[in-house]
Amino acid sequence: MSRLLLGLPLLVWAMAAQALTCLPQDVARTYHEAAESDDRYLIVLGEVRFDAAHLPETDLTRQGDTPPDTRIPARLTGRALSRGGFLHPFDREIVLNAQCFGPWCAGAVSGARYLAFVNLDRQVPEVTVTPCGGFAFAEPTARMERQVLACLNGGVCAPKMTR
């Protein structure tokens, strides 16, 4: 019995080290999540700039010290989506909310191009990134752009099936 109890902390640590499992990030799934939310979202294709030194980093020995939300001032410059495509200029200060789920924290790259779902119902418009992707798609493909346009226009908007 004592061997089992002594091994239990190691087992719990090993399970926690591998516990985060994410569905593949999917534009249609994120579109539905935003559409079903009580909040209003604007979809923007553009460049996000922020001070990357503010991104959260997890100290695995002190995981409790990592806040679940790190709100970073940022600027999003690009074009907002309408039924005709990404036609409307968008250039605003936003908040990049980099979330952590336990020891796993979101990452983002300043200066990168993103397909971002901007939450307009925050004090400052906000884009949330999570360890599993969240509401921003880095370096989106033309296929992602077509998918979100189809979703907005009532076309095929089915999330990819996962195994």
pLDDT at residue 67 tops 60: yes
Out of 66-70, 102-106, 134-138, give the one with best mean pLDDT: 134-138
**103-135 pLDDT per residue, tens:** 889 999 999 999 999 999 999 999 999 999 999
Share of the chain above pLDDT 90, in %: 72
Length reported for the chain: 163
Q: How many CA atoms within 13 Å lie on the side-chain side of 37?
A: 17
Could you give the maximum distance between any two Cα atoms of the chain, in Å? 67
Q: Are 64 and 134 in contact (CB under 8 A)?
A: no
Bridge partners (DSSP) listed for residue 97? 71, 128
| Euclidean distance between CA atoms 117 and 139, whole angstroms | 14
- What are the residue boundaries of the structural domains of the chain, listed by start? 23-152
- pLDDT: which is higher, 72 or 16: 72
What residues contact residue 122 under an 8 Å CB cut-off, 6+ apart?
39, 95
Calculate the CA 146 to chain-centre distance. Answer: 19
pLDDT at 19: 63
pLDDT at residue 2 tops 70: no
At the topology level, CATH places domain 23-152 in OB fold (Dihydrolipoamide Acetyltransferase, E2P) (2.40.50)
Indicate the average pLDDT of the chain.
87
The 10 Å Cβ neighbour count of residue 115 is: 24
**147-159 pLDDT per residue, tens:** 999 999 999 999 9
pLDDT at 59: 66
Task: Tell me the C-alpha to C-alpha distance, in Å, between residue 35 and each of 19, 40, 85.
Answer: 29, 8, 18
The structure tokens listed for 61 are 């020995």
pLDDT at residue 46 tops 90: yes
**4-14 pLDDT per residue, tens:** 344 434 333 44
